[in-house]
Structures are given as C-alpha cells and as structure tokens.
C-alpha cells in the first residue's frame, strides 16, 4: 500500500490488533515492523524508539517464517538507517530480493512516496521571496533558523553549518547521531554537508556512524589541504 502520514498510526494499531488475535501470525509482525520503520522515516516517532520496535517485530516474524520478505525489508531498513550496519543491511535486503523481487521494489517505491513535501502557505512563500531579494541566500538561512529553532537536529546542524556557526552545527549533529537519525546514512556523500567537511571534527563524526573509510578519505583531504599545493 502507498501510505500517508495519517495512515501509519492506523496501520500500527491494525497490525497490533491482528497480533492480539493471533500472536503467531508472522505477516502481522512483519507488517508492524515495516510500519514502525515508516514512523521513524516520517518523524512520527523518535527513531531511537521506532527502530528498536521495528527490529523486535521483524525478528519475531522471521522466527515464525524465515521466508517473509517484508520482515527482511524491515530488518534491513533498521540495520541500514539505525544501526549503520552496512553489511548486515545488504544481506537482509538481498535476501528479501531473492524471496520476492516485486515486493521489495514495491516497498522501495513506497519509501519514495513518503518524501512528498507539503505545500507552503502563500504568505510564507512571499516572506521568503522578500528575504531572498534583500539578503540573498544568507537571509534565507537566517530565516530558516528563526522559523525552525526547535526543529530536528539534522536540519539545525545543516543550517548552522551554512551560517558558519560551526560549534552549534556540530552540537546538533551530535544530537542527530545520538537519536539515530535515518538521514545520517547520506552524511559522507551529500553535498549539503560540504559546509562542515573542511573541519577536522567532521571525520570524527563519520567514524561515529561507522563510515571509517569515508573518515579516512576526509582526513587525507584535510592533510593535503593543510599542506597546500
């Protein structure tokens, strides 16, 4: 199914109800695992809460039915987005693909639909236009910081980084790491992190999320940059 934000809590409750009626129903445990993953990805629940719940449900489903592709997808998602266990995630997703290629493709397509953004109110768009006209990109960043003072740590890390507030940026990045933010899987390659990439603290954070090879490349880049041409 293609799920919206409002669908996910109902799906969680529906799967829990099915499990209450039949605790040995593997498909319901697998569905619950997938729904918990969606909760984390859509920020409907804290990742450090939703992903452990997804892992537990996926493992219960696999204990009952080792060939359940949904459970393998959910377990692979947890290993990838929360545990940063790249090899384990690959094994789970490859196993899901072996079990049911079409089913895995469907889940990946659904994940893409979750990224749909809501339309901004017209008055907000007008404020942004005026800010950009008068102060350019720097004004937009300051506007976003004021509007999202209590926003997700990942977003605040990027905004503070672009604004040049590096200490604040790394403090928020540390909070994102502590909360197992699923977007951290892109931190080594996403260009928006270039604002922090030249700081020696950045490669330490790459190591913190299990990206040691990327951290080594970052370290070599910093050494070469310090030496000059």
Q: Give the pLDDT score at 63.
A: 92
Q: Is residue 30 part of a domain?
A: yes
Answer whether residue 116 shows pLDDT above 60: no
Answer whether residue 112 shows pLDDT above 60: no
Statement to judge: residues 14 and 100 lie in one domain:
yes
Instruction: Output the six-digit token pair for 71.
Output: 């459970």
> Could you give the dihedral angle defined by the CA atoms of residues 130, 134, 140 and 144, in that order, rounded to the nearest 10 degrees?
-60
Q: Is residue 170 part of a domain?
A: yes
**Cβ neighbours for 110, distance < 8 A, ≥ 6 positions apart:** 1, 2, 3
pLDDT band at 118 (very low <50, low <70, confident <90, very high): very low
Mean pLDDT within 181-198 = 81
Give the least confident one: 31-35, 44-48, 129-133. Answer: 129-133
Give the least confident one: 119-123, 145-149, 203-207. Answer: 119-123
pLDDT band at 171 (very low <50, low <70, confident <90, very high): very high
Measured CA to CA, the distance from residue 89 to residue 86 in angstroms comes to: 5
Do 11 and 46 touch, CB atoms closer than 8 A? no
Domain stop point among 92, 113, 134: 113
Answer whether residue 109 shows pLDDT above 50: no
Q: Is residue 220 part of a domain?
A: yes
Statement to judge: residues 88 and 161 lie in one domain:
no
Q: Is residue 136 part of a domain?
A: no
Statement to judge: residues 77 and 157 lie in one domain:
no
Q: Which domain holds residue 27?
A: 7-113
Give the least confident one: 55-64, 80-89, 154-163. Answer: 80-89
Statement to judge: residues 34 and 103 lie in one domain:
yes
Indicate which CATH number applies to the domain containing 76: 1.25.40.10
Domain stop point among 113, 142, 168: 113
Answer whether residue 162 shows pLDDT above 70: yes
Q: Is residue 22 part of a domain?
A: yes
Statement to judge: residues 90 and 155 lie in one domain:
no
Mean pLDDT within 118-123 = 47
Decide which of 228 and 37 is more confident.
Answer: 37
Q: What is 49-66 written as a DSSP string?
A: HHHHHHHHHHHHHHHH-T
Other CB atoms closer than 10 Å to residue 134's CB: what's the count?
Answer: 8
Domain stop point among 97, 113, 129: 113
Mark out the alpha helices in the chain (DSSP H runs). 7-21, 26-41, 47-64, 69-81, 86-99, 101-113, 122-147, 153-163, 166-178, 194-197, 200-208, 212-227
**Cβ neighbours for 40, distance < 8 A, ≥ 6 positions apart:** 46, 47, 50, 51, 54, 81, 82, 182
Of the candidates 75, 63, 67, 61, the one whose C-alpha atom is nearest the C-alpha of residue 30 is 61
Q: Could you give the number of structural domains in the chain?
A: 2
Statement to judge: residues 37 and 105 lie in one domain:
yes
Angle between helices 200-208 and 212-227 (to 10 degrees): 170
Mean pLDDT within 175-204 = 83
């Amino acid at each position: 199914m293609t799920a919206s934000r409002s669908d996910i809590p109902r799906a969680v409750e529906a799967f829990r109800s099915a499990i209450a009626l039949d605790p040995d129903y593997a498909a319901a445990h697998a569905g619950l695992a997938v729904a918990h993953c969606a909760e984390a990805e859509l920020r409907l629940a804290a990742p450090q809460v939703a992903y452990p719940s997804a892992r537990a449900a996926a493992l219960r489903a696999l204990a009952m039915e080792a060939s359940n592709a949904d459970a393998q997808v959910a377990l692979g998602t947890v290993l990838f987005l929360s545990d940063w266990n790249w090899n384990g995630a690959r094994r789970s997703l490859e196993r899901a693909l072996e079990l049911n290629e079409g089913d895995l493709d469907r889940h990946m397509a659904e994940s893409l639909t979750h990224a749909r953004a809501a339309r901004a109110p017209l008055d907000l768009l007008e404020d942004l236009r005026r800010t950009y006209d008068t102060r350019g990109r720097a004004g937009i960043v300051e506007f976003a910081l004021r509007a999202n003072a209590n926003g997700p740590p990942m977003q605040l890390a990027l905004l503070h980084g672009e604004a040049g507030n590096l200490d604040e940026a790394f403090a928020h990045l540390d909070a994102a790491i502590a909360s197992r933010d699923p977007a951290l899987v892109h931190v080594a390659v996403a260009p928006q992190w270039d604002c922090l990439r030249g700081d020696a603290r950045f490669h330490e954070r790459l190591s913190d999320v299990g990206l040691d090879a990327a951290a080594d490349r970052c370290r070599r880049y910093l050494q070469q940059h310090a030496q000059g041409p």
